[in-house]
Amino acid sequence: MPKDSTVLKLAKELIDIPSTSDKEGEKGVADYISDYLRSCGIESRTFEYRKGSANLVAEIGGKDRLMLNGHMDTVPVGDKKLWEHGLKAELLNGELYGRGASDMKGGIASILAAVSDIDFSKAANHGILLTFVADEEGKFTGSNWLLDNKKDIFNRVKYGIIAEPTDMRIQVAQKGIACMKISFHGKAAHSSAPQLGDSAILKAARFITALEELAKGFTVEDKILGRGTVNTGKIKGGTATNVVPDSCIINVDRRIVIGETPELAADQVKGLLRKMGINAEVKLYGASAFKLDKDSKIIEIMKRASGSKTYGAPWYTEAEIYKRKANIDCAVFGPGYSEAAHQANERVSVNNLEQCTEVFKRVITEWCSS
Ligand SMILES: [Zn+2]
């Protein structure tokens, strides 16, 4: 059997260290990466900012640094019965299966394999910054912690690459999110006399349908990102079959484009509730849509190194946080399949892993020798 390439070996080993942010934590992956970098002569620092959750940082070469970033956490494995392959890293027909294969241990493996192949002794002016972070699949506390507490690391960093799964395309724009928890209230009564109560579930149901209709009329449109969307992802209400429910809570995920804001999305929802005469509380958690300036140097760098096309994604990545908090232009580019993320039988193509490593090598070599 032929020997695994460096990137394949790294990807397999990373996949085999479970690292959901709320269960195992990312510390195991951080320790693995730290050991690997040390074996390549690169020192790194690990910040365990809360128990089990860690960020890893390595500053290599000159001070004008290009950031390469990846999140070390994954979503949970979920229902094991749905997995035919990949409960442990498994190679089959040129595809590597396992949780995190695409999102995004494959991306991290490509960064590490690229870095280990480069001689940084001449990178006097331009260097690279590696940031491997925690909790991207949760509440983004990893990147936020670094940006808030280790600001000096980012002082002279203007550009970055986040190796999320993009099918080897250059992601230059992404939608924002407006997540809303909406609480409906009613009045309990015996089910046999519903006219004496006031059903909170019924109110929520009417509202959900009306919201779907409202979404058909979203008019703000972005050239790359298209229009906003809405999805009611969760509903919880009532206490028993024979009781008119006095409370119901729904979670709405509204994706927004440039020209919309989370607050505007919340105002739309509140306006609709008012119009329907429904009293409900709306709690908002949001982040803006994000687009790189079309002249940003990072797009040019990525195009040259990969020959790939640019696109806008309907999902959110931490590129928005790095721009907002540190003014870093991040392109998102990685070997993973965007479609395979968060699914059972998650996989990544070995070909993509190897090609992505080459792309990152070209980018880093060009950057460090300029
Ligand atoms: Zn991801």
Q: How much distance in Å is there from the Cα of 37 to the middle of ligand 1?
A: 22
Output the pLDDT for position 1: 65
Mean pLDDT of 20-49: 96
Distance 79 CA to ligand 1 centre (A): 19
* Separation between Cα atoms, residue 100 and residue 85, nearest integer Å: 13
Query: Does 196 have pLDDT greater than 90?
Result: yes
Phi, psi of 352 (to 5 degrees): -60, -40
The CATH code that applies to domain 176-287 is 3.30.70.360
Predicted pLDDT at 117: 87
Mean residue pLDDT of the chain comes to 96
What is the model's pLDDT at position 68? 98
Q: Mean pLDDT throughout 333-348?
A: 95
- The band of 208, judged by pLDDT with boundaries at 50, 70 and 90, is very high
Distance 85 CA to ligand 1 centre (A): 20
pLDDT grade, residue 122 (50/70/90)?
confident
Cis ω for the linkage preceding 104 (within 30 of 0)? yes
Q: Is the pLDDT of residue 253 over 70?
A: yes
Q: 6-174+290-368: what fold?
A: Aminopeptidase (3.40.630)
Measure 241 CA to ligand 1 centroid, in angstroms: 40
Residues 6+ apart with CB under 8 A from 194: 244
CB neighbours of residue 130 within 10 Å: 22
pLDDT given for residue 123 in this prediction: 84
Q: Where are the domains of the chain?
A: 6-174+290-368, 176-287
Contact 185, 280 (CB under 8 A): yes
Residue 22: band (very low, low, confident or very high) from pLDDT cuts 50, 70, 90: confident
**Ligand 1 center to 171 CA (angstroms):** 13
Distance CA 235, CA 252 (A): 9
Amino acid 21: pLDDT:
82
Q: Return the minimum-mean-pLDDT range out of 51-55, 122-126, 252-256.
A: 122-126
CA of 275 to the centre of ligand 1 (A): 38
Rounded distance between C-alpha atoms, residue 72 and residue 78, angstroms: 18
**pLDDT value at 370 more than 90:** no
Beta pairing partners, 335: none
pTM for the complete prediction?
A: 0.90
- Calculate how far, in angstroms, residue 336's C-alpha sits from the geometric centre of ligand 1: 10
Packing angle, helices 6-15 and 350-368, rounded to 10: 110
State in Å: Cα 94 to ligand 1 middle.
22
Q: What pLDDT score was predicted for residue 143?
A: 98
pLDDT at 121 over 90: no
148 confidence band (pLDDT: 50, 70, 90): very high
| Cα 104 to ligand 1 centre (Å) | 5
User: Does residue 290 contact residue 323 with C-beta atoms inside 8 Å?
Assistant: yes
Cα 287 to averaged position of ligand 1 atoms, centre (Å): 16
Question: Residue range 218-240: average pLDDT?
Answer: 96
**Which residue type is seen at 232?**
T
108 CA from centroid of ligand 1 (Å) = 11
